[in-house]
Amino acid sequence: MKQTVLNVFRAAFIATLLAGPSLMLSSCGDETEGKASINDAAPAKVTDVSSVAGPGEVYLTWTVPSDPSFMYTKITYKNAKGEEVYQVFSKDHADENGVVKATISGFVATDPVDFNFYACSLRGNNQGAVTYAGTPGAPAFIAVSESITAESAWGGIYVGYKNETVAKVFVEVKYTDKSDASKSGTYKFEAAPNSESKTFVHLFTSDKEFINGSTASLSITAQDADGNSSDIRSMEAYAKKVVALDRSAWTFPGFTQSNDPQIGYSSQEAVGENGGKNGRVIEMIDGNEGSFWHTSWKTPSAYPHFFIIDMGEDVDVSNVSIRRRSGNNGTHTGQTFYTCSEANASGADPNEWSWDNQGWYAFDRNVDRHQLFGMKEVRKARYIKAYFAETDKGGDFVMVSEFNAYTPAE
């Protein structure tokens, strides 16, 4: 694959250099001058190579030659699996002084790694390698793995971690219901650089079902972006039981049959989706996965988007769930939830109410599963608000087929 990319890279340079001059000269009618020449001499070698260790990474710096024929630097090295691999950096990566900086990641051991630098012409001609030994630091996923904790939560579990490095790490949780081994699944999330957090893990076992009121056996690993992984951490945690709230009395404040924004939602497509059979906010609470709310498109609308559910009375809210429009990933990638009690909903304008921020949660727009989210605190609430910020934009619209809320059942 990399060789193919390199061939395309070379071909693009050749096409760029040949096309313009060739066409221009041939138009003059002089066949002897209709060919472009390419300086393909092997350029001088790179100089001033240095490195700094990073978490499972090596930060390399070098100076490229000033030769007119120089086009790119090719660096070969062995990855964590012992495979010979390479990366290519075009001359455009250099600053005004000819200095290039690059990060080579994916290392597990802290042994020195030989990096071979080739300064190449368009067709790859070079004067041989400059070999430099750079030493990576300990990979970030090792320390993250050692910090992992698991604890009980309503409707799922919390997995805690600490990532004190600048590297991105992923935590993978494989789980099985201890009372029913046929119920299992995998949940993966990012442990962001320089962060410490507890992530709610939805122990889903099918599109609609999840481990609920039972203990889960956990096999947890931390991984880097290249797939290198820590040893398995085996744990157990109890998912406290929750039940879905009855939606029969739910409403959206200010609901009308138009596309216009209301106090209870940013917009809806009340006309363009199957003659009004889809697109309205009320489709999210009709129990039909085939119907959906769609933000307005006949009347243009833009992020941020939101909707507010009025449940009619105060109830304890522990979780909410959202399901995307079936088979369509043109929706959001995250959302923030807020709750508000009846006592705190003073006045006609929801913007003036005292909302409790229940946290931001990532949304996987590529699955049809009911995605469950754990509120930061179980609070009595009559109103639930879902807010989709500009930074949550995945597609141009928000499309939701079902929305549910849950309450503790034990």
pTM over the 0.75 mark: yes
- CATH code of residue 188: 2.60.40.10
CB crowding 93-122: b at 16 or more within 10 Å, else e: ebeeebebeeebbbbbeeeebebebbbbbb
CA distance 121 to 9: 12
CA distance 254 to 262: 6
Q: Would you give the end-to-end CA distance of the chain in angstroms?
A: 55
Q: Are residues 102 and 71 in the same domain?
A: yes
Asked if residue 10 belongs to a domain, the reply is no
Distance of alpha carbon 173 from alpha carbon 389, whole angstroms: 28
**Same domain? 130 vs 147:** no
**Residue type at 125 in one-letter notation:** N
Domain end point (choices 109, 134, 159): 134
Domain-ending residue, one of 220, 240, 260: 240
Q: Are residues 219 and 284 in the same domain?
A: no
pLDDT of residue 33: 55
Q: Mean pLDDT per segment of 10 residues, for the chain of length 410 residues? A: 44 42 36 70 99 98 98 98 98 98 97 99 98 98 98 98 97 98 97 97 96 99 96 99 98 95 96 86 97 94 98 99 98 98 95 97 97 97 99 97 98
Say whether 8 sits in a helix, a strand or coil. Answer: helix
